[in-house]
Amino acid sequence: MKRNITLLGGGSWGTALAKLLSEKGHNITVWLRDEEQCKKLKTERINEKYLPKIKIPENILFTLDINEAAKDAEILLIVASTQAVRGILKEIKDQYKSNKIIINASKGIEKGTMCLVSQIVKEESNNCIYAVLSGPSHAEEVGLGMPTAITIACSNKTVAEEIQDIFMTSYFRVYTNDDVLGVELGGALKNIIALGAGISDGLGYGDNAKAALINRGIVEIARLGLAMGASIHTFYGLSGIGDLIVTCTSKLSRNWNAGHLIGQGLTKDEAITKVGMVVEGIPTSYAAYELSKKLNVEMPIVNAMYEVLEHNADVRETVKKLMLRDKKEEKL
């Protein structure tokens, strides 16, 4: 069945998902804030800044009017930065963000409030059914139709299966999950570990270091997740280990790239500017640090990233401190 779907955001992920959903026959509208970008997308059908190799189908509509975009939508798909989600939802009139299915495809935690997107949506909308789409998925590869597997998490099983049908194609396999919290946390926190992996590579450290970082990273993610009420099994899946692997090992990862630049000596602000896209792992590092303190969860990698980002700690000295912590038994 055709659905009216509005995407809130037109970056790389939004472009790739809009193309996929359009090819499935759905009515797709994309809201953007940038007037020049919107004009170019309408006329040239190429997202030159984010996905220059992808031809955008003619039947995808682009608009600068967020309420016009949301008015007739049955599904709102969030593909904007987590830090922008609250502000975007506040712009939509109440009658246009009530009784919808809201799917979040953003990965992060709101800095300051420590809110996940599910909590932001609950606060800023009314009677909506919330779902989160997450997993190892570079927009560049999805846009080119390369095989990808991902998870849709929703507390309503019927809606989860409906969304599964909406997205699933011969190259985009979708699994359902009912652990919304765990899937959100896995997608958000892996960006912090990816920053660390990039720093490790930027310092010239080898595969041993990165393997240890990825492994101990999933331990920290699971610790925080369990403290917040998520299922341990979720972190073994696509939105946990799966997403962590792809983000920590690929040069397509903006978080890995930002970390790599920091490891080579750039400041966080210089790295963000050079990457030229949202680096969710940076604000999420601050939020995760505050959450770990609030919940008394041991997260040494998150602590180390916080010191590097907030206090400009020397990265080599920070790694040394991590390695020389008190001896421990290997366990969660």
| Tens-digit pLDDT profile for residues 228-272 | 999 999 999 999 999 999 999 999 999 999 999 999 999 999 999
Using a pLDDT cut of 70, give the percent of the chain over it: 100
Nearest alpha-carbon partner for 238 in 159, 157, 181, 177: 177
Interval 176-185 mean pLDDT: 98
Select which of 19, 100, 107, 190 is catalytic: 190
H helix or E strand, kind and range, residue 148:
strand 148-154
331 pLDDT band, cuts 50/70/90, is: confident
Q: Specify whether 190 is catalytic.
A: yes
pLDDT tens digits, residue range 75-131? Answer: 999 999 999 999 999 999 999 999 999 999 999 999 999 999 999 999 999 999 999
Select 182-323's CATH number: 3.40.50.720, 1.10.1040.10, 3.30.830.10, 3.30.1330.60.
Answer: 1.10.1040.10
pLDDT surpasses 80 at 138: yes
Domain residue spans of the chain? 4-178, 182-323
Domain 4-178, CATH? 3.40.50.720
pLDDT surpasses 90 at 208: yes
Residue 189 Cα distances to 11, 73, 186, angstroms: 21, 30, 5
Which pair of structure tokens corresponds to residue 81? Answer: 């930065």
User: Which residues have CB under 8 Å from 61's CB, separation 6+?
Assistant: 28, 29, 30
pLDDT at 332: 76
pLDDT at 49: 86
Interval 283-295 mean pLDDT: 97
pLDDT at 8: 98
Interval 128-135 mean pLDDT: 98
Distance CA 64, CA 86 (A): 18
Contact 179/107 with Cβ under 8 angstroms? no
Contact 97/128 with Cβ under 8 angstroms? yes
Furthest CA-CA distance within the chain: 61
Contact 190/247 with Cβ under 8 angstroms? yes
Strand 61-63 versus strand 27-31 pairing type? parallel
Mean of per-residue pLDDT scores for the chain: 96
Contact 55/32 with Cβ under 8 angstroms? no
pLDDT surpasses 80 at 16: yes
Q: What is the pTM of this model?
A: 0.96
pLDDT at 97: 94
